[in-house]
Structure 1
């Protein structure tokens, strides 16, 4: 297994995918950091962390970023027109908006879940990425949770219409930010509790069982 992971899977996932929608690269980074830990490969671990640090601000916008979202490092999107196209035509940006919000909430949920997974794996290894990404993650989860719960879609957001379908993707991030760090997340908590218990889907597995109310 170790040989297959090192020679077949790791070279692909650790390379990233800066020109694809952000959930791709975040899920790849989730896989890469997990494989790196299994293989005790510090170089690949550090590379995955570097990818996460570059991709998270290119996936979740904060007003402090400026007028436009940050482009994915190593990617081809760098002009205003290209970034707007990459963000699926969105021209107004607010705290917590994600690169795939105007695509659909299913892919956005996967991206946010993968971002939290990377931070969770790093935390277990003694590196606190949550401290770096808490503001982006909490705003993103809150924004999307509120809309998933039925809040009105503002006219400036995705032409006033979004495609819902987050699924149970916030257990890991919610547990870390709310239960461990004490951040108030009312809308996210409502959504997480409504979608419990989380089962198995794609790269997600039994996260209510593993993370609900887990202080460790």
Structure 2
């Protein structure tokens, strides 16, 4: 929804709407991607702010020993990929419009991509993560963020690079992402 809203704000040249979307994005990203610096559990969003509410919202994930776990990791990687993709698309839109949000979200985004790429590439799932069982299927979602973080910002992303290279050329999932190798692979702009 935020990805659509930022696009609508640009199309309408609606600065108030833009500001609302950016504020929601800034609140939502830390509540979607966990960093150990957040504390023993992820940041809340809206009225979801107690540990038990957050654990329930995070599909029962109750321990958070690593950077990059996402709110939908234990749901499935497909929906997690949609979230990561939307985050990168919004960051890309804001950058193009002159308000670059990548620096604010770079650590969360790179850790989320690296964390999920590891398991998508076949790493064994530890028992603490989603009860030891993941539903894979990240989809063709790494290209935009990988280009921004690795190619433009110079951040090393070994697992994400491996997965991105393995999936090239990225096609379409027929829903939210399409042909992003064509538009973003090694694009310095």
TM-score (normalizing by structure 2): 0.97
> What does residue range 40-79 of structure 1 map to in structure 2 within 5 Å?
40-72=13-45, 74=46, 76-79=47-50
| Pairing partner for 1:183 from 155, 164, 178 | 155
How far apart, CA to CA, are the structure 2 residues paired with 1:68 and 1:203?
Answer: 29
Instruction: Could you list the structure 1 runs, at least 4 aligned residues long, displaced by more than 3 angstroms after superposition.
Output: none
How far apart, CA to CA, are the structure 2 residues paired with 1:199 and 1:154?
Answer: 31
How far apart, CA to CA, are the structure 2 residues paired with 1:166 and 1:102?
Answer: 12
Deviation at 1:113, TM superposition (A): 0.4
How far apart, CA to CA, are the structure 2 residues paired with 1:70 and 1:155?
Answer: 23
Tell me how large the CA RMSD over aligned residues is.
Answer: 0.8
> What does residue range 1-216 of structure 1 map to in structure 2 within 5 Å?
28-72=1-45, 74=46, 76-93=47-64, 94-200=66-172, 201-216=174-189
**Which sections of structure 2, spanning at least 5 residues, go unmatched?**
none
Measured against aligned partners, the alpha-carbon deviations of 1:103-135 in whole angstroms (never above 9, x if no partner) come to: 100000000000010000000011110000000
Measured against aligned partners, the alpha-carbon deviations of 1:6-28 in whole angstroms (never above 9, x if no partner) come to: xxxxxxxxxxxxxxxxxxxxxx1
**Which sections of structure 1, spanning at least 5 residues, go unmatched?**
1-27
TM-score (normalizing by structure 1): 0.85
How far apart, CA to CA, are the structure 2 residues paired with 1:206 and 1:63?
Answer: 33
Query: How many correspondences in the alignment?
Result: 187
